[in-house]
Structure 1
Amino acid sequence: MKVFSLLEKHTNFYFFSKIFIFCVFFLLPLKKIITMNIGNRIKELRMQKGLSQEDLAVRANFSKSYIQKFEDGAREIKSSQLFQLSTALGVSITDIIQETDYNSDEFVLRNIEFREGYKILDVKSFEKRVILGDILHIKYPAYCKLEKLMNESIVFQNPLKKFEVITRKEQIEEAAIILRKKWKFENTPIYNLVNFLEDLGIKIFEIEEDEGFAGFSCWEKNTPIIVINIANTDIARRRFTILHELSHLLLRFNENDENIEHFCNYFAGAMLLPSEALSDYINKSSDSITLEELKRIKSKYGISILAILVRMVNLDFISWNKYHEFKELYNSWKDKESDFGDETISRFDYLIAKGLRENIFSKDMASELSGISISQFNEDLINRKFSF
Structure 2
Amino acid sequence: MQERKKAFNPKQLTSARLARGLTMKELAEKADISRQMISNYESGKTTPKAESLLKLISILQFPHNFFMQDMSPLYSGATYFRSQSAATKKVRDMQGERLKYFSNVYEVLAQYVNFPPVILPSLLEKDIYEITEEDIIQKARELRKLWEIDEVSPIGNLVNIAESKGVLIAEANMEDDRLDAVSRWIKDRPFIMLTSNNESSVRRRFNVAHELGHIILHNTIESIHDYSSKDLKNLIEKQAHSFASHFLLPDEAFSETLLSTSMEYYIELKKYWKVSIASMIYKAFSMQLINEDQYFYLNKKISRNKWRKVEPLDEVISIEEPELLSKVYNIIVEHNIMSKNELNRRLNLPIDETKKIIGPIVIIEEQTRTNEPILRLIK
* Residue 240 (str. 1) matches residue 202 (str. 2): no
Residue 110 of structure 1 aligns with which residue?
77
The 3 A distance-change label for structure 1 pair 177 and 361 is: same
Structure 2: runs of 5+ lacking an equivalent: 1-31, 38-45, 222-226, 355-359, 368-379
SS of match in other structure, 1:148? coil
Q: What is the rounded CA distance, in whole Å, between the counterparts of 1:379 and 1:100 in structure 2? A: 29
Q: TM-score, normalised by structure 1?
A: 0.65
Deviation digits for residues 264-321 of structure 1 (CA, Å, limit 9, x no counterpart):
11111111112232133224xxxx5223321222112210000011111222212333
- Partner residue of 1:316 out of 256, 277, 288: 288
Q: Is contact 1:235-1:343 (8 Å) kept?
A: yes
Report deviation, 1:251.
0.8
SS of match in other structure, 1:201? coil
The 3 A distance-change label for structure 1 pair 325 and 127 is: closer
Structure 1: runs of 5+ lacking an equivalent: 1-23, 45-67, 74-95, 384-388
Deviation digits for residues 328-367 of structure 1 (CA, Å, limit 9, x no counterpart):
1113264252544211211111112222332222122344
- Partner residue of 1:147 out of 105, 110, 126: 110
Report deviation, 1:240.
0.7
The 3 A distance-change label for structure 1 pair 101 and 216 is: closer
Percent identity of equivalent pairs: 23
SS of match in other structure, 2:111? helix
Q: Is contact 1:36-1:71 (8 Å) kept?
A: no
- Partner residue of 2:251 out of 250, 275, 288: 275
* Residue 294 (str. 1) matches residue 276 (str. 2): no
SS of match in other structure, 1:110? coil
Query: How many residues in Structure 1 have an aligned counterpart in Structure 2?
Result: 295
Q: What is the rounded CA distance, in whole Å, between the counterparts of 1:140 and 1:117 in structure 2? A: 24
* Residue 363 (str. 1) matches residue 340 (str. 2): yes
Greater relative contact order (CA < 8 Å, ≥ 6 in sequence): 2
Q: Which amino acid aligns with 1:146?
A: L
The 3 A distance-change label for structure 1 pair 33 and 144 is: farther
Residue 331 of structure 2 aligns with which residue?
354
The 3 A distance-change label for structure 1 pair 33 and 149 is: farther
Report deviation, 1:71.
3.1
* Residue 250 (str. 1) matches residue 250 (str. 2): no
Structure (1 or 2) with the greater helix fraction: 1
The 3 A distance-change label for structure 1 pair 303 and 72 is: closer
Q: TM-score, normalised by structure 2?
A: 0.66
The 3 A distance-change label for structure 1 pair 342 and 276 is: same
Q: What is the rounded CA distance, in whole Å, between the counterparts of 1:242 and 1:164 in structure 2? A: 22
Residue 164 of structure 2 aligns with which residue?
199
Give 1 or 2 for the bigger CA radius of gyration. Answer: 1
The 3 A distance-change label for structure 1 pair 281 and 377 is: closer
Q: What is the rounded CA distance, in whole Å, between the counterparts of 1:214 and 1:270 in structure 2? A: 20
Q: What is the rounded CA distance, in whole Å, between the counterparts of 2:211 and 2:103 in structure 1? A: 18
Output aligned runs, 1:33-52, within 5 Å.
Answer: 35=53
Output the aligned Cα RMSD: 3.8
* Residue 211 (str. 1) matches residue 174 (str. 2): no
Q: What is the rounded CA distance, in whole Å, between the counterparts of 2:319 and 2:256 in structure 1? A: 26
